Amino acid sequence: MSTIPTPATPAIPATPSINRRFRLQWEPAQDSHVLLYPEGMVKLNASAGEILACCDGARSVDEIVATLETKFQATGLRGDIEHFLAHASQQQWIV
């Protein structure tokens, strides 16, 4: 019996920052954060926008989690944040 190879989970940078090929900004017309790049735009949901807004290249993943848990007075967000950061890394939105 053979197994089907699965793509490796992308590594999350220790101190993630927005890739220079993208620009994160609030877009009033979309009523959301967006990632702009030369070929287009990615409209982000509220959670994704909040997470990416914390990706400044100075904060660690632990600090991002702590910041968002404090901001939203919630606990247990680490799994969701790490899952999104892995996706963002795979999409090359963060480095």
Structure tokens at 14: 């220790």
Q: Which domains does the chain have, with CATH numbers?
A: 23-90 (1.10.10.1150)
Q: Which pTM was predicted?
A: 0.88
Tell me how crowded residue 16 is: count the other CB atoms within 10 A of its CB. Answer: 23
User: Given this model, what pLDDT does residue 66 score?
Assistant: 98
For residues 52 and 93, the answer to whether their CB atoms sit within 8 Å is yes
User: Given this model, what pLDDT does residue 43 score?
Assistant: 97
User: Given this model, what pLDDT does residue 93 score?
Assistant: 97
Per-residue pLDDT of the chain (95 residues; tens, 9 = 90+): 444 444 555 689 999 999 999 999 999 999 999 999 999 999 999 999 999 999 999 999 999 999 999 999 999 999 999 999 999 999 999 99
